Chains A and B, each alone.
Chain A
Amino acid sequence: KNQVEQSPQSLIILEGKNCTLQCNYTVSPFSNLRWYKQDTGRGPVSLTIMTFSENTKSNGRYTATLDADTKQSSLHITASQLSDSASYICVVSFVSGGSYIPTFGRGTSLIVHP
């Protein structure tokens, strides 16, 4: 069964600190992996996308890594800001019948304290 597991479930850090969120998956055949940021009461917004051949992708202070061999991804946030407080969702997709079928992780809830 295709699954996406994220850890930790929740994380509290101080403003200015770095943090790393983890995503392990069993989705097969793998097509791409995306990280989304979801602010409270809002829809998810895409941060990064990586395909099989990519092992790192940056978007400002967000850097995602992918190890397709071990089926692991991480999202590293540098110099955290209060606005980084949100849920971060890992989404892994496979292709079936010409459509991209995503499997969503449950998300990591990040709280950044001043």
Chain B
Amino acid sequence: NAGVTQTPKFQVLKTGQSMTLQCAQDMNHNSMYWYRQDPGMGLRLIYYSASEGTTDKGEVPNGYNVSRLNKREFSLRLESAAPSQTSVYFCASSEVPKPRLFGQGTRLTVV
């Protein structure tokens, strides 16, 4: 099925551990995004990639790095996880001006 696929769906990390969240889309979209969603807050943009080979910081980039591996894949890396990074992470892709298509989310808990 066409869409945005995120892995893993759930993850528990210890403070200081590192991990990479994977995202892939098969719709040939140019733009891809990483968001975090916290209780009582709207989705906040972490990083985005307007096209293959480019990445830009969003609203809350600190503590994260991204890689646009190719047109399909956009990964989010936590180098040293902190409890404040406990959140639900969503990857999305779009072909402007069409709406973003979101993945199912990754629920991350940092203890």
Task: List A residues at the B interface (Cβ < 8 Å).
Answer: 4, 32, 34, 36, 41-46, 49, 89, 98-100, 102-107
Interface size class of B (residues with CB under 8 A): 20 to 34
Instruction: Give the dominant DSSP class at A's interface.
Output: strand
Q: Which residues from chain A contact B44 at a C-beta distance below 8 Å? A: 104
Binds A, one of B13-21, B69-77, B79-87, B90-98: B90-98
Task: List B residues at the A interface (Cβ < 8 Å).
Answer: 4, 31, 40-45, 48, 50, 90, 92, 96-97, 99-105
Is B104 touching A42 in the complex (CB atoms < 8 A)?
yes
Instruction: From A4, A49, A104, A107, name the one whose CB has the most chain B CB atoms within 10 angstroms.
Output: A104
Q: Which residues from chain B contact A98 at a C-beta distance below 8 Å? A: 50
Is A100 touching B105 in the complex (CB atoms < 8 A)?
no
8 CB-based A-B contacts, threshold 8 Å: A32-B97, A43-B103, A44-B102, A46-B101, A89-B43, A99-B96, A100-B97, A103-B42
The answer, among A43, A100, A105, for a CB contact under 8 Å with B104, is A43
Query: Nearest 5 CB-CB pairs, A to B?
Result: A43-B102, A104-B42, A46-B99, A104-B43, A106-B42
Is A105 touching B99 in the complex (CB atoms < 8 A)?
no
A-B pair count, CB < 8 Å, reads 44
B28 to chain A, nearest CB (A): 18
The answer, among B42, B97, B99, for a CB contact under 8 Å with A4, is B42
